[in-house]
A and B are shown apart, each in its own frame.
Chain A
Amino acid sequence: MNPRKRSGIRYISFRHILAPAIILMFVVSTGRAAPDSIGSIRDTTIEWPTIDEVLRVVLLRDYNTRVVVIGTMLLGLAAGVIGTFILLRKRSLMGDAVSHATLPGIGLAFIIMSRFGGSGKHLPGLLAGAMITGLIGMGLILLIRNTTRLKEDAALGIVLSVFFGFGVAILGIIQKMSTGHAAGLESFIYGKTASMLAADAQLIAYVALLILIVCTILYKEFTLLCFDQEFASSQGWPVVLLDITMMVLVVIVTVIGLQAVGLILVIALLIIPAAAARFWSYNLLTIVIASGIIGAFSGLAGAGSSALIPRLPTGAIIVVIAASVFIFSLVFGSARGLLVRIYQHLRLLKKVGHQNLLRAMFEWWENHDTSGQSRIHRQSDTKGAELANSVCDRDSDNIGNVEHSSRDIRWGELLALRSWAPRRLRRLIRIAIKEELISQLSLGSYRLTEVGKAEAKRIVRNHRLWEIYLITHADIAPSRVDRDADQIEHVLGRAMVDKLERILASTSPDLAMPSSPHPL
C-alpha cells in the first residue's frame, strides 16, 4: 500500500501540471499559440480581450457564456467531490486510464452516427460512445488484474496506451474519411469550452448534480469502502458493487468533462482539488466540501478565461488554476501546509531548548547544593504533606523551604552539561533572561530566578515522572530512559501529567520531586 500512497499527487505534478503550464507560459509570453502539433490549437495568434469583453464575461451578461461557466463550475464541483473518494481509495491512476479509454468511443460514435445520416457531432451520442469504451476499459483493467498475475499498474498501463492509441488511429481514419466534418473532435482531447452550446452545458450541469446527490447518499458507504475494505466486506457491504458505483461515477464525470477539460487533463480536475483540500483539514467531510469548492472555482475561472480568450485550451487553464490552488494550499494549508509545519517544528524546538536549559540548571543546582543531603532528607520527611498538594505549579513556595547554593553556574559549566552548540545555548540564555527566568549576575555567570526555579522544578519533575514511568511500566533500561523521556516530556500536557501521577502514586513514594532514576 505505502509506496502507492502519494502516487496520485506525484503522477499529476509531472504529467499534468507541468505540461499545460509550459504550454501556457509559451503561449502567453510569445503572444502566439503553440505550434500545430498541439492538436486543437491551430490558430497562431492570441487576441487579448477588450475591457468591454472582460466585463461581459465577468458579469455573465451573455446567456451562452453564463450557461457554459455555470456548467463548468458544477463539473468542477462534482469532480472535486468524487475525486476525494478516489484519491483516498488510491484509484487516481485508474481514473486516468479510464479517461483515456473514452477516445475510441468518441471516434466510433462519430463514424456510426455519420453513417446513419446524422451530423456525427451530436453530443449525447458522442458522450454515450465515450462512456461505453470508458467502461469497457475499466472492466478490462479489473479483468487483467484479477485473472492474470499482472499487477494493477501494468493493467493500467496496457489499457491506457492501447485504448488511447486506438482512439488516435480512429480519429486519423475519420480525418481521411470525411475531411472537414470531423474538425472539432480533437477538442475532446484538450478541452474547449468555446465549442460548447447552452444545451451541452445544461447536460453537464444535470449530470453533475446527479453525481453530487449520489455521493451525498452514499457518503457513509464510500467512506467505509475507502478506509477499510476488508472490514466493510466482513460486515456484509457489497464491496465490489460499491467500488463499481464509485468508478462509474468517475467515468461519468470524465465523460461530461471531456468537452470542457479534455480527456488528457480531466484526471487533474478529479485529483488536484482533493489533494489540495487535504492540506486544509483532517476531517473527511471538510475535505470533501473544500475539494468541491476548489474544483468549482477552477472550473469557473477556467471557463471564464476561456470565454475571454477562446483560443486557449480550456483544460490547460483549468488545470493551471487548480494547480495554483494546490501550491497555495501546500504552503499555506492550515492543517498540513508547509508553513504550519515549519512553525510547529520551530516552536517545539524552542520549547525543547528552553526546557532543556532550565532542567540542566536545576539539576546542576541540585548537585551543587551545599545542603544537598539534608534537602533530600527533608523531602522524604515532608512527603505526606507534599503528596497532598503534589501538583507542583501550586506548591512553588515549597522551593523556599530549600535553601539553595549561593554558587551561580558559569558559562563553561553550563555548556558542558549537555551537548549543545554554543550559539544555540547563548540564544536560549538570551531568551530566558528576557523572560526573567534566569538572571545574569556578572558576565558569564547565571542563576535561576524564583519564577525560573518554579518553572524548572515543574519541568524536572515531569521529566522524572516520565522516566520512572518508562522504567516501571514500559520496561525500558534506566540508561536509555533519559533520551526517551527527552523526546516525550516536551509534549506532556497537564492531563498526561495528572495521569502519570495517578499511575505512579502507588509505586513511587517521593512524587513531589522524585530523585533522578539514573546518575545525572
Chain B
Amino acid sequence: MARTTSLIDPAPDIIADKGVTDQNDVPILVQDLTVAYHRKPVLWDIDFSIPEGKIIGIIGPNGAGKSTLLKAILDLIPKASGRILIYGKPYRQQRAKVGYVPQRESVDWDFPVNALDVVAMGQYGKIGWFKPVTRKHKTLAMESLERVGMADYANRQISQLSGGQQQRVFLARALVQDAQIYFMDEPFAGVDAATETAIVKLLQQFRSIGKTVVVIHHDLQTVKDYFDYLIMLNMRIVATGNTSEIFTPENLQKTYGGRLTLLDEAVQAIAREGDRRL
C-alpha cells in the first residue's frame, strides 16, 4: 500500500526533511493541502506532520481555519488539492484508529437521548449495520463515562447536563472508540476550571499510553502547560514544532497580529470572481 502511494507522489520531501523513513509511523502527514468553501480558499498550501504520542495544540485566531483543518483531515469536507495520510494511509482506511470530539455546539442538545446513549454511539462503527446496541456495548459505554467522572449522570437526558458535563460526555464517546489518534475541537470552550483540569488529566493519560491527541485551543495562557507540540495556523501554517521552540512573540505576532492583508485581498478577489461566474 505504501508503495503505491509513493508511486503517485515520488518525492515526499517533507518526510525527508523530518528524517522519517517510514510514513507508516507518522500519525498525521498533510501535504499541499488547500481547502475552499464556495471557491473561497480558507486553507492554503498546508504542509506538516505531527509526532506520535504527544499532545498537539492547534492555535490561531477566529476564522483561521482550525476547524476546517480538522474536518479536512477527517474527510468531512472536500479538499481542493493535496493529500492527508494517517499512519501512511488515507483516512478512509484508518477510521478505526481515529476518535473525534466535535465542537460542543455542533449538535442539538435537546435531542431525546441520555448520556449513556450518546457514549454508546462511539461504538456504532464497530457494531456495524443493522445490529442493535447490546448490553455489552452499554457496559463499555458506562466504563468510559466512569473514566470522565460522569457515571452518576448516565441516565440524564442530555439537555439537563451542564456545558462541562456535555463536553465530558463527548469525551467519553471518543474514549469508547478506543482510537490511536484523537481530534478535539475546542474541548475547553465553556467549561469551568475543575472540568478543564479533569480533561487535561485525561489527555495526559492518553499520552502516557502512547496515544496522540490533537486539540484546537484558544487560551494562549495555558498553551505552554498543555501542549508538547504546536501548530500555529492562520490560513497557512505560520509555524509547527515543539512548543518550547516555536511559541515565541514573533510567531504569535505573525499568527494573530497584523492580518495577512495581501492574502486577504487575494481571497476577496477570488470570492468576487466566483460570484460573478455563478
Contact = CB atoms under 8 A, between A and B. Distances in A.
Interface residues of A, number: 34
Interface of B: 38, 71, 74-76, 92, 95, 98, 100, 102, 106-108, 110-114, 117-118, 121, 124-125, 127, 129-133, 152, 157, 173, 192-194, 278
Given A1-B108, A221-B129, A475-B193, A231 B38 contact: no
A18 B118 CA distance: 38
Contacts of A284: 111-113, 117
A220 B193 contact: no
Contact of A227 (B113, B125, B127, B129): B113
Given A88-B111, A474-B194, A219 B121 contact: no
A236 B132 contact: no
3 tightest A-B CB contacts, nearest first? A282-B157, A235-B125, A234-B100
B111 A231 contact: no
Nearest to B120: A220
Given A237-B124, A237-B125, A474-B194, A231 B102 contact: yes
Contact of B152 (A231, A282, A495): A495
A464 interface: no
Given A227-B118, A234-B76, A220 B127 contact: yes
Contacts of A223: 113, 121
B95 A236 contact: yes
Contacts of B152: 495
A202 interface: no
A1 B110 CA distance: 12
B130 A217 contact: yes
Nearest to B113: A284
Contacts of A495: 152
Contacts of A230: 71, 76, 100, 102, 106
Interface in A1-24: 1, 5
A234 B95 contact: yes
Contacts, number: 84
A220 B133 contact: yes
A473 interface: yes
Given A149-B278, A227-B108, 14 more contacts: A220-B130, A223-B121, A224-B121, A226-B111, A227-B107, A227-B121, A228-B106, A233-B76, A234-B76, A287-B112, A473-B193, A474-B192, A474-B194, A475-B193
Nearest to A469: B194
13 contacts: A149-B278, A220-B127, A220-B133, A224-B121, A224-B124, A227-B107, A227-B113, A231-B173, A232-B124, A235-B124, A237-B124, A237-B125, A283-B112
Interface string A449-474: 00000000000000000000000011
For B74, B75, B113, B194, the residue with the greatest tally of chain A CB atoms inside 10 Å of its CB is B113
A336 to B, nearest CB: 10
Contacts of B102: 228, 230-231
A515 interface: no
Given A220-B133, A475-B193, A227 B110 contact: no
A311 interface: no
A234 B113 contact: no
A334 interface: no
Interface of A: 1, 5, 88, 90, 148-149, 217-221, 223-224, 226-228, 230-237, 278, 281-284, 287, 473-475, 495
A210 to B, nearest CB: 16
A235 B192 CA distance: 29
A86 B115 CA distance: 22
B100 A281 contact: no
A258 to B, nearest CB: 30
A281 B192 contact: no
Given A220-B124, A230-B76, A231-B100, A5 B38 contact: no
Contacts of A228: 102, 106-107, 121
B132 A219 contact: yes
For B71, B75, B95, B112, the residue with the greatest tally of chain A CB atoms inside 10 Å of its CB is B112
A347 to B, nearest CB: 17
Nearest to A223: B113
Nearest to B159: A282
B194 A473 contact: yes
A218 B100 contact: no
A217 B132 CA distance: 9
A230 B102 CA distance: 8
A212 to B, nearest CB: 15
A220 B132 contact: yes
Nearest to A1: B108
For B38, B76, B278, the residue with the greatest tally of chain A CB atoms inside 10 Å of its CB is B76
Given A149-B38, A221-B129, A235-B124, A282 B107 contact: no
Contacts of A474: 192-194
Nearest to B71: A230
B90 to A, nearest CB: 12
